């Protein structure tokens, strides 16, 4: 097991400080040739709850299917909504009008949503099952239950309740063996399971990363190579395990000041993590060091979402200031910020952006979806342009 000691951080701090001048020079050079992005709000999807500001439809999770054809949303309304990408991107057929007027296409959930499935509890996580196209979707809920839904039949086909009724914050599937899943919970454990082993799915392994019984807030398998699964905890650390022998962590990433809320693999050796310390960090997993820290968004106590767009090297998160932040992986300052206007301007609490998700398409144009605490979905289109 490799741990990162305080002395290591002190050394890193000296190295970073010593190279600050060179880093600034490099950034100035890169700034002249960097690729800028044009983003615009193309579609806005709201509901009666959004307009009334009842706050009963907070969107906690958004997930595009692997092919980018469908988007699933879930939250405290106990509904899994499925949207067709074409309905979300219908502004492409009216692109000229939107660009000229700056007015997005506005829909309500009833018109935009293809169908929905009622869930038994509030939803903390959704994940499409690899190699099943757009048919099977997994969920983790506030009652500690993991379920899988067959979307063609619109019904659950698997249920697992092994977290003692404690909230499941995150689930993910192994890409090398897509049947295997993992879930992280408030009970302080990450459990790996196989739906083929009995009605409740045999627990293949269980780890308690922190000795303090800290909640496990995020779980992510490395989708690029090797049997690696990463776990983020309320004890401020990221733990990585070899799923073939889950006794001790392969390494521990220690650098956040508060709970780690999300983990994403950007490539085979780069991990992106976010925390309620208001920072996103990019790590070299092989050297177990921080490459870059991203700051600008406001995140001190809530889950605000994290998504990486791998083809374009962009990172997105929400904010408790009700804004959407986009970072280029090469720079610590935001590349683009969108300030969402609340639906009800009379409210003192203007809500927050609670979930974000990139559609993983080509590297010259992108689609980003953000959901907020009022149940509003905003779809953004981006195109890259070279500046001289």
* pLDDT for 129: 93
Query: What's the pTM?
Result: 0.86
**Which is more confident, 108 or 155?**
155
Cα 378 to its chain centre, rounded Å, is: 16
CA dist 70 and 273 (Å) reads: 25
Run of H or E residues at 110: helix 109-112
Would strands 334-339 and 270-275 be described as parallel, antiparallel, or unpaired? unpaired
Residue 73 has pLDDT above 90, yes or no: yes
The DSSP symbol for 218 reads E
Residue 381 token pair: 């289109």
* pLDDT for 10: 30
Name the average pLDDT for the chain: 85
333-364 confidence digits (pLDDT tens): 999 999 865 555 455 466 899 999 999 877 77
* pLDDT for 226: 79
Topology classification of domain 6-386: Methylamine Dehydrogenase; Chain H (2.130.10)
Question: Residue 351 in contact with residue 327, Cβ under 8 Å?
Answer: no
216-244 confidence digits (pLDDT tens): 999 999 998 779 999 999 999 999 999 98
pLDDT band at 330 (very low <50, low <70, confident <90, very high): very high
Q: Which of 79-93, 171-185, 281-295 has the lowest mean pLDDT?
A: 79-93
CA dist 258 and 47 (Å) reads: 34
Cα 145 to its chain centre, rounded Å, is: 20
CA dist 273 and 293 (Å) reads: 10
Mean pLDDT confidence for 360-371:
87
Is 83 in a helix, a strand, or coil? strand
């Amino acid at each position: 097991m490799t741990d990162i000691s305080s002395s290591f951080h002190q050394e890193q701090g000296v190295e970073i400080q010593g190279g600050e001048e060179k880093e600034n020079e490099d950034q100035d050079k890169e700034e002249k040739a960097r690729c800028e992005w044009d983003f615009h709000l193309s579609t806005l999807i709201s509901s009666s709850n959004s307009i009334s500001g009842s706050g009963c439809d907070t969107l906690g999770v958004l997930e595009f299917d692997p092919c980018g054809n469908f988007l699933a949303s879930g939250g405290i309304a106990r509904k899994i909504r499925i949207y067709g990408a074409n309905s979300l991107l219908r502004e492409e057929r009216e692109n000229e009008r939107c660009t000229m007027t700056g007015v997005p296409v506005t829909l309500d959930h009833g018109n935009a949503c293809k169908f929905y499935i009622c869930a038994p509890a509030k939803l903390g996580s959704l994940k499409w099952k690899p190699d099943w196209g757009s048919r099977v979707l997994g969920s983790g809920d506030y009652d500690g239950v993991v379920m899988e839904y067959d979307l063609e039949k619109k019904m659950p086909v698997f249920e697992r309740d092994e977290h003692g009724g404690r909230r499941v914050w995150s689930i993910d599937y192994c890409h090398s063996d897509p049947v295997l899943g993992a879930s992280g919970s408030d009970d302080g454990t990450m459990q790996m399971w196989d739906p083929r082993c009995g009605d409740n799915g045999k627990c293949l392994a269980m780890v308690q990363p922190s000795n303090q019984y800290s909640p496990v807030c995020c779980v992510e398998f490395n989708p690029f190579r090797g049997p690696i699964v990463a776990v983020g905890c309320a004890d401020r650390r990221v733990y990585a395990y070899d799923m073939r022998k889950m006794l001790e962590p392969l390494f521990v990433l220690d650098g956040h000041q508060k709970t780690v809320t999300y983990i994403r693999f950007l490539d085979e050796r780069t991990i992106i993590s976010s925390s309620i310390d208001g920072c996103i960090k990019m790590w070299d997993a092989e050297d177990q060091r921080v490459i870059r820290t991203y700051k600008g968004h406001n995140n001190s106590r809530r889950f605000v979402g994290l998504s990486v767009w791998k083809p374009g090297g962009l990172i997105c998160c929400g904010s408790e200031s009700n804004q959407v932040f986009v970072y280029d992986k090469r720079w610590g300052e935001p590349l683009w910020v969108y300030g969402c206007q609340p639906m009800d301007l009379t409210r003192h609490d203007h809500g927050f952006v609670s979930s974000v998700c990139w559609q993983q398409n080509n590297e010259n144009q992108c689609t980003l979806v953000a959901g907020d605490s009022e149940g509003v979905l905003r779809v953004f289109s981006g195109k890259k342009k070279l500046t001289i």
